[in-house]
Chain A
Amino acid sequence: MISAYILITMTPGKTDKAIKEMRQLDNVAKISIIAGEYDIVIRAQVKNLEELLTVTDKIQMIEGVTKTTTQIIEKEISLQ
């Protein structure tokens, strides 16, 4: 299983509608609206890189998404 963070920059005013569409996507484990350099962070869980490409592709097709930056997780420590 591959996990990745997809950092998204949005056009102002399109976030709510985009979030609704993102919540419907497969392989999306977590969505956070953030304040700062990016507008949304998505955590995706996929079986292979091909699936990751499909997820990022679908995200880029959502209206209001202007830029995505994908960070693949190589190693992780977490409380949960």
Chain B
Amino acid sequence: MIIRKKYLFYVLAITSSFIAAAVTGVDSFVGSQPAFKYDPWAFAFALFFIGTLITLLITLSLSIKIKGKSLGAKILDPSFKQLRLVQKSEMKYHLIAGLMNAINTVGYCAIISIVQDPSVILSFSQIVILYLLLMESITEKDVPTLVEIQSSVIVTFGAILASISLTGEFQLFPIFIVFLVVNPTWAVFSIYQRKLKIMKIHNKPNDSINIRFWNVFFSCLFTALLLFIYDLFTSGNHLITGFVTSIDPSYFLLLVLTMGTTFFSYVLYIRSLGMGKASVNNAIRASTIIFAIPFSIILLQLGTITEFSTDPVMLIIKIIGMVLIVMGIISFALTVVKSYIFITVKPGSPIRDTMQKLWDIRGVSHVSVTSGKYDFIVKVSTRTLMKGYERIIRKLDEIPEIKKYHWDSVLKDWEKI
């Protein structure tokens, strides 16, 4: 099926956010259980330990072939074939992403053991979008444009407003955890998951299902290691408590439910990371706050959470925040300009060197060496045409090997999924 790639990107990111909102509700309930409430470290290990088992089981099920194609390829990610071992080229990225996810989850567990309402928990972490913008300007060859910064700030402020504590409680300790632990680790985790997704494995696109499985596996290892060191120095037993509690029948099914659902949220998130920058993905992911509200109400009705204010002033502030989030996301969606540049080079020009010079230009997403009328077809993505001129055309003019080029802007495009 060929659909508009932009739609697919937003469908993936928003569906992932919706599932994430449901997971946060369940997490909040599981985290408030007596065994985990005062021991978030044990909760983190229990999550990853059961997560590894359930993710392995789901991945194996998705590896089942139906008419020559795996079930996972049919329903989740067309690039997925079957569960496979980590390739040497991926290892570094998996180790960093796993470590970051482990630290992030420990921080997250510490927060949800302090604050119960999921919409409150999610609030502080939205500033990660700004962290990502900053990091992407360093790590990626695509610095943020003014429109991206504006949209990100709108989404971030919207997210803060939308998730201000409904009870008016503003606890300093969880905010410190968010700023110093959760946000930086999530930013690095997102960037490395994106790097993994855009990698080619045996000349084919990497798949999000294997990326997720190995991420949970490495996160589990790192969490175990961190807890082991922590227990050693504090004479605690968080690691053993986590393990024992995870196999306790009264918690096992809850952990399976939360990590099983998380798997689908992350697979879609990783897929969407392969299509757009991590900052834009996380801006869309801010819609989790909106989706978390109905889940909070359901949990309140079920009696699993006890606090949910209906103060009209707070509700108005939250609605304003939600409107800002939606406006920011729409602003991201409507401000991408994609173009093709068709290039002819002078005879005798070194093709590989010219290819590298073209690739080094910021905003270039594809460089193809072609045979035929043109020597290169370059695809570029910018937020504005003016930026395209400043950033790309000027740079093209500086490449002496180029004889002639012409720029054709993309008005609309579709892609096979």
Tell me the A residues contacting B by CB distance below 8 Å: 3-5, 7, 19, 23, 28-38, 41, 69-80
Residues of chain A within 8 A (CB-CB) of B416 are 28-30
Residues of chain B within 8 A (CB-CB) of A71 are 368, 370-374, 377
Is B2 close to A, CB under 8 A?
Answer: yes
The answer for the CA separation of A41 and B379 in the assembled complex, in Å, is 11
Tell me the B residues contacting A by CB distance below 8 Å: 2, 5, 198, 205, 274-275, 338-340, 342, 351, 355, 359, 365-374, 377, 379, 406-416
Are B355 and A75 neighbours in the complex by a CB distance under 8 Å? yes
- Expressed in whole angstroms, the minimum distance between the Cβ of A63 and any Cβ of chain B is 19
- Expressed in whole angstroms, the minimum distance between the Cβ of A36 and any Cβ of chain B is 3
The answer for the CA separation of A73 and B355 in the assembled complex, in Å, is 13
The answer for the CA separation of A76 and B355 in the assembled complex, in Å, is 9
Residues of chain B within 8 A (CB-CB) of A3 are 368
| Residue in B closest to A35 when the chains form the complex, CB atoms | B409
Question: Total A-B residue pairs with C-beta atoms closer than 8 Å?
Answer: 98
- Expressed in whole angstroms, the minimum distance between the Cβ of B194 and any Cβ of chain A is 10
Are A73 and B369 neighbours in the complex by a CB distance under 8 Å? yes
Are A28 and B370 neighbours in the complex by a CB distance under 8 Å? no
Given contacts A5-B370, A73-B370, contact A80 B198 (CB under 8 A): yes
The answer for the CA separation of A41 and B406 in the assembled complex, in Å, is 14
Q: List 10 A-B contacts (CB under 8 A).
A: A23-B2, A23-B414, A28-B2, A30-B413, A30-B414, A31-B2, A41-B408, A71-B368, A71-B372, A74-B370
Besides the known contacts A19-B414, A33-B410, A34-B410, 8 further A-B residue pairs in the complex with CB atoms under 8 A apart:
A5-B370, A32-B410, A32-B413, A33-B412, A36-B409, A76-B369, A78-B366, A80-B198
- Expressed in whole angstroms, the minimum distance between the Cβ of B258 and any Cβ of chain A is 31
Are B415 and A30 neighbours in the complex by a CB distance under 8 Å? yes
Residues of chain A within 8 A (CB-CB) of B413 are 30-33
Are A78 and B414 neighbours in the complex by a CB distance under 8 Å? no
A37's partner among B342, B368, B410, B415 (CB-CB below 8 A) is B342
Residues of chain B within 8 A (CB-CB) of A38 are 408
| Residue in A closest to B275 when the chains form the complex, CB atoms | A80
| Residue in B closest to A45 when the chains form the complex, CB atoms | B416
B367's partner among A37, A69, A72, A77 (CB-CB below 8 A) is A77
Residues of chain A within 8 A (CB-CB) of B2 are 23, 28, 31
| Residue in A closest to B141 when the chains form the complex, CB atoms | A79
The answer for the CA separation of A71 and B374 in the assembled complex, in Å, is 7
